[in-house]
Chain A
Amino acid sequence: MLAAFLASLVECVEALTVVLAVGVTRGWRSALTGCATGLLLLLLLVLLLGHALARIPLHGFQLVVGALLLLFGMRWLRKAVLRAAGVLALHDEDAIYRREMLALGGQAGALAGLDKLAFAVTFKSTMLEGIEVVFIVLAIGAGHADLLWPASLGALAALLVVAALGVVLHRPLARVPENTLKFAVGVLLCAFGTFWAGEGMGYAWPGADRAIPVLACAFLAVAALCVACCRRMAREVAR
């Protein structure tokens, strides 16, 4: 539930940034309609995929999902490590918000009724960020059938928290330490991905399910070591 909550929080903040920028510049009706349509379509996707999950053999499914989760999680963790070490620039929600505002402000004015541009932009951002959330929920729920509900609840809680904060703040959630979240989520996704890919291959993990927190600690330790090494390399180059 925690992994799904944190991962979904990051994606929801990214989608909210775009929805707020569009809402402020082009009007809230079209922005929220686009966002709601995207959410409905995602709900449909979850219902269809969730139903299909029950028909697939568990080991094969664990291997495929574990592999996808590993590709996804390791990509996130690598980026978070490089950002933490200063090799890549940090993701700036405030800058993205300003850029979206500027770009949308320069477009032609809203038409009577639904603003197609505002609808399309918020629909697209909700769909794209939402697909990542759906994937995370399905991947976490794939390991064991009884994990699907906690993972879904974690993602729903993240959506509600971000939506509530968005209503209160009316600004992108720049104060959410995004890279720290991505770092933590990357570690968790890598741990789950490694565990399930291993299970899918038929390996017996020492300690069974208790191997997951050990794997998370190992990924965290290696990632932290990489950050320290990268910083030291940067200092040596600067000298």
Chain B
Amino acid sequence: MNKPLNKMAVQATINGEPTAFLCSPGQVLADVLRDELELIGTKIGCNTGDCGACSVLVNDRLVCACLVLAAEIEGQAVQTIEGVAEGGVLHPVQQKLLEHAGLQCGICTPGVVVAAKALIEHNPNPTEEQARYWLAGNLCRCTGYDKIIRAVLDAAQQMREEAAV
């Protein structure tokens, strides 16, 4: 039987803050974020990388935190949903999701926010089709995606307009 108390020490940057934690060798990043660091905004819907509720950025790369071993992020930078609103100001994706009613139960919302923000950073002017394919890994069972896609396209447009000023 594995010894559950066999822990590794890991140092990483989480939402811009230097952070140290202990994890077991097999523990995934999603569990560490939620259980060790109390960052419960990262949701677990499947634990197999199929639903996208645990979407986070590791060194600006969009990943499912349930598929990343926590030990792998030694020395890396992780951004979670808790790091999206800067200084208490909502990111345009968050604001537009609220305005468009782009959430119902809200369990997929943190993952959608993280993924959509990454989309716009990657492609400031996404088409509807590009947004749909980028977000195809973020399952939502409530909305039919209509208002999510509208919110993301609206947020991208607002950010382009702000950047042009």
The answer to whether A and B belong to the same complex is no
Q: Which residues of B contact A (CB under 8 A)?
A: none
Q: Which residues of A contact B (CB under 8 A)?
A: none
